[in-house]
Homo-oligomer: A and B are copies of this chain.
Amino acid sequence: MEIEEMLKQKDLKITPQRMAILTVLKNTRSFLSAQELFQEVIKILPGTNFSTVYRNLDVLLGKGLLCRVPSDTADLYELRREEGHHHHAVCKGCGASIPVDFCPMESLAKELGRKGFLPTEHCFEVYGLCERCRDGKK
């Protein structure tokens, strides 16, 4: 299976909890908070502990298997898919997230490099209202 391969490649042990976490992330289109993720995980693997989820989010993030974006209350997580790097436009009305292929770092990395700055991470997220929510608020 593919998830198992991902874990092996990163020298991570294959545990039921990890499988459950990655399965949920894989089957989720938009991103999830740790809490939402946990709720889904215990449907698949009841008894899984909350701290296990948190600890794994850290580990998986550190191994580059996930990406994290900041949000109002809690951070949100998403499986990093092969397709490549992208960002999101998140609707503050309904929570829907529209993928955005454009990445500002492409234009900026060189310029920062000239100033001696070495970018290692970045965050770019857009918040607003999607068409439906925008119309509803009129």
Structural contact, B120 and A92, CB atoms closer than 8 A? yes
- Bound together, the chains give a CA A70 to CA B127 distance in angstroms of 14
A34 within 8 Å of B (CB atoms): no
Place the interface of chain A in its size category.
20 to 34
Most-contacted residue by chain B among A112, A115, A125, A126 (CB, 10 A): A126
Given contacts A100-B108, A124-B123, A124-B124, contact A116 B131 (CB under 8 A): yes
A46 lies within 8 A of chain B by Cβ: no
Copies in the complex: 2
User: Whole-angstrom distance between the alpha carbons of A75 and B108 in the complex?
Assistant: 24
Min CB distance A60 to B, Å, is 17
Contact call B134/A126, Cβ cutoff below 8 A: no
**Bound complex: CA of A123 vs CA of B100, how far in Å?**
14
Q: Does A130 contact B (CB under 8 A)?
A: yes
5 A-B pairs with C-beta separation under 8 A:
A92-B120, A100-B112, A116-B134, A118-B129, A120-B129
